[in-house]
Amino acid sequence: MTPPEPMPSGGRTPLSPHDTGALRSLLPVLGAHRVTVLRTCLAALVDQAALVVLVTLAAHTVGTAVIAHRAPSPGTVAVLIGLVLLRALATWREMDLSHDLAYRVLAELRVRVFDGLARSAPARIAGRRSGDLAATALGDVEALEFFYAHAIAQLLASGLVFAAAATVLGFLGPWLLLAVVPAALLLLWSPLLEARGRAERGARTRAALAELSAESVESVDGLRELLMAGALDRTRSRLRSGGRRLARAQRAEQSWETGAGAARDLLVVAAVIGAVAAAAHAAGGGRLDGAWTPAAMALALGALAPVAESAAALGRAGSLRAAAARVRAAVNAPAGAPSPATPLPAPAGPLGLRLSGVRFGYGGAPVLDGLDLTVRPGETVALVGASGAGKTSCAHLLARYWDPQDGTVELVPQAAGDPVDLRDLSEDDLRAAVCVVGQEAPLFHGTLAENLRLGAPGATDRELAAVVRVCGLTPVADALPQGLDTPVGERGATLSGGQRARVALARGLLGRPRILVLDETTAHLDHRGDAQLARALTADSRARTRTTLIIAHRPATVRRADRIAVLDGGRIVEEGTWDELIRAGGALTRLLSRQGEAREEETRQEARAATGDSAPPR
C-alpha cells in the first residue's frame, strides 16, 4: 500500500473549511430513510403553511372587524382555532420526525465512521490521538444533528411556503412583491456572503474541540505517569489554555451568529414596513380592500420569517463544513489492506511462512529493504535485532495491518500445494490462520472470560480452561472473586502487566492459529514466568504443528527457538541455531554484547540515581 497519509484531524492536519461538497457528500446517507425524510418535509410544510394562513386570516379578521364593524363568524373562529391546533400538532410532529431522522442518521454515521477507521487501521490512525478520533467519531457526527434535523426540511418547506405566499401577495398587488421578494433574495444570499468566514470559524471550533478532546483523553490515560513525573500542573495549564482556545472559538461563532440574526431581523422588519406602506397606499387609492391591509402585512411577515430561519440554518450549516469534512474523510477512508476481489482459500494443514524481497517503510527511508525469511511449518524462529530494526513492522506485515510496498508475504503449506499470498486471503481466513500477539494487547471492559473469548466467541468452556492452564492463568483466575467471570476493568486495570500478557497470549491461542507471532509478549514476565510459559507452549498439544515467530530481546527467550534470524539494515543478515551463531561470533554476538553493555549502563545509572550521585557516565 502507499505510505500512510494522515486523515484530516484536529488542528494539526490542514483541512479546508471551504470544502463545499462535504455536507452534500453526506446526503446519500438519507437515502435509506426516504419515507421519514418525506414525512418530515411534509410536517414542516404543514407547520409553516398553517402559521402563515393563521396569521393572515387573523389579521384579515381583525381588519374586517375594524373597517366593516363586523364580528368574525363562528366559522372563521372555528377555522382559526383549527389552525392553531393544526400548527401545534404539525410543530410537534415535525420536531419528532426530524429528530428521529437525525438520530437514526447519526447512529448510522457513527458506525460508518467506525467502519472507516477499522478498515484503514492502523495505517490511518497511526500518529493520530485517540481523543482526536473520539472527537471525529462522536463530536463531529453529533454536530451534524442540526443539519439533518433542522436544515433540510426547513429549507424545502420555507421555499414552497414563500412561493405560495408570494403568489397571493402578487394577486393582492404586484407592488407588494417589490417589498418582499428582494428581502427574501437578500436573506438567501446572506449565507453565501458569509460562508467563508463561517466555515473558518466553524473549523477553528472543531479543531479546538478535537485538540482538547485528544489532550483530555491522553491526560486521563497517562494520569499515573503525569503524577510520577510531577507534570500535573503543566497538564492542567495545557488543558486550561486548550479550554480557553475553544471558548474563544465558540464565542467568535456565537457573536457572529447573534449579529447575523439581528441583521436578518432588521431586513424582515424593513420588508414588512415596506409591505405595509405599499398596502396602505393601495388601500388609500382604492386598489385594495382595507381589511386586507393588516392581512398583507401578516402575509409578508409569515412568508419572510421561514425564509429568515432557513437563511440562519444555511449559515449554521456552513460552519458545519469542517465537521462534515472530517466525518467524510473517516467514512471514505481507503482500506489499509484491501480485501481481494476473489479470495483464495487458505491451505489446509500446518503452514509455514515465507517473506520474499519485502520492502516496507512508513513514507521515509525503508524500514525493511529486501527482507527474505522462511519459517518452516511447525518451526519456532526468533527474530532479533536492535531496537528500531523493524521487527514489529515485520509482525504487522504478517497481521496485514499493512502490505509491503514490494515483495510478498506468503503462507506455505506443509502438504503439497501452492503458497498463498496474504493479500489473496479473506479477512476471516487470514485471522484464523495467523495470530499476532503484540507488546501491548489491551483488554476491554468485561469479564476475564469475555476478554479471552474475544477472537473465538464460540470456544467451549473446556477449550477456555485448557488455554488458561497453558498460559499459567489458573492461579490468577482462582484468586479473583468470581473466577473467569470477574470483570477485569477497563484496559485490564485490575490485572498486572504480566497477567495481562498471559491473557493476551491465551486469547491468541484460543483461536487455534496455525501461525503464532509473539512480539515481545513475555517481556513483562520475569525469567521464571517466561520460561514456564515457553515450556507450557511447547507441551501444548498443537505445538508440533504450530509455526511460531518470536520477537524478543531477552537472550533466554531467543535461545529456546529452533532457529534465530538477525535483522539489521532492513534485511536478515544472519540465520542459524543459537550454538551456530554464537560460534560464528557474528551479528547475533555483536547484538547480544551491545544489549549487555546497555543493560550494564542502565544498572549503573539506576545505582547512581539511588545514591544521588550525579557524576556523568563513564
Ligand X SMILES: Nc1ncnc2c1ncn2[C@@H]1O[C@H](COP(=O)(O)OP(=O)(O)OP(=O)(O)O)[C@@H](O)[C@H]1O
Interface residue list for ligand X (CB under 6 A): 126, 362, 367, 385, 387-393
CB of 572 vs ligand X, minimal distance in Å: 13
CB of 567 vs ligand X, minimal distance in Å: 7
**Would you say 387 or 614 has its CB closer to ligand X?**
387
CB of 393 vs ligand X, minimal distance in Å: 3
CB of 45 vs ligand X, minimal distance in Å: 52
**Would you say 201 or 391 has its CB closer to ligand X?**
391
Closest CA to 209 of 258, 136, 148: 136
**Would you say 63 or 385 has its CB closer to ligand X?**
385
CB of 523 vs ligand X, minimal distance in Å: 9
**Would you say 264 or 391 has its CB closer to ligand X?**
391
Element (H, E) at 322: helix 321-331
Half-sphere exposure of 400 (CA within 13 A, CB side): 26
**Would you say 373 or 488 has its CB closer to ligand X?**
373
DSSP string, 323-362: HHHHHHHHHTPPPSSPPPSSPBPPPSS-EEEEEEEEEEES
CB of 385 vs ligand X, minimal distance in Å: 5
Closest CA to 305 of 51, 41, 94: 51
Contact 59, 109 (CB under 8 A): no
CB of 564 vs ligand X, minimal distance in Å: 15
**Would you say 305 or 389 has its CB closer to ligand X?**
389
- CA 558 – CA 577 distance, rounded (Å): 10
CB of 197 vs ligand X, minimal distance in Å: 36
Strand order in the sheet with 515-519: 434-437, 515-519, 547-551, 380-385, 563-568, 571-576
CB of 370 vs ligand X, minimal distance in Å: 16
CB of 395 vs ligand X, minimal distance in Å: 8
355 bridge partner residues: 373, 409
CB of 568 vs ligand X, minimal distance in Å: 10
**Would you say 159 or 361 has its CB closer to ligand X?**
361
Half-sphere exposure of 251 (CA within 13 A, CB side): 6
**Would you say 195 or 566 has its CB closer to ligand X?**
566
Chain position carrying cell 519459517: 375
**Would you say 352 or 366 has its CB closer to ligand X?**
366
Helices (H), 149-231: 152-172, 174-193, 195-221, 223-228
**Would you say 154 or 548 has its CB closer to ligand X?**
548
**Would you say 124 or 328 has its CB closer to ligand X?**
124
**Would you say 125 or 304 has its CB closer to ligand X?**
125
CB of 490 vs ligand X, minimal distance in Å: 24
Residue type present at position 382? A
**Would you say 219 or 392 has its CB closer to ligand X?**
392
Cis preceding linkage at 122, omega within 30: yes
DSSP string, 577-609: -HHHHHHHTSHHHHHHHHHHHHHHHHHHHHHHH
Chain position carrying cell 547512581: 608
Pull the grid cell for residue 167. Answer: 403568489
Strand order in the sheet with 351-361: 366-375, 351-361, 406-413, 420-421
Pull the grid cell for residue 126. Answer: 497511526
CB of 506 vs ligand X, minimal distance in Å: 22
What are the angstrom distances between the C-alpha of 135 and each of 110, 129, 330, 492?
Answer: 11, 10, 11, 24
Strands 380-385 and 547-551: parallel
**Would you say 388 or 458 has its CB closer to ligand X?**
388
Pull the grid cell for residue 581. Answer: 551463531
**Would you say 54 or 398 has its CB closer to ligand X?**
398
Contact 146, 323 (CB under 8 A): no
**Would you say 422 or 552 has its CB closer to ligand X?**
552
- CA 406 – CA 371 distance, rounded (Å): 10
- Is 376 in a helix, a strand, or coil? coil
Contact 239, 218 (CB under 8 A): no
CA angle, 111 then 117 then 121, to 5°: 145
Half-sphere exposure of 444 (CA within 13 A, CB side): 9
CB of 222 vs ligand X, minimal distance in Å: 19
Distance of CA 352 to the CA centre of its chain: 36
- CA 578 – CA 559 distance, rounded (Å): 6
CB of 399 vs ligand X, minimal distance in Å: 12
- Is 490 in a helix, a strand, or coil? helix
CB of 123 vs ligand X, minimal distance in Å: 8
Contact 471, 551 (CB under 8 A): no
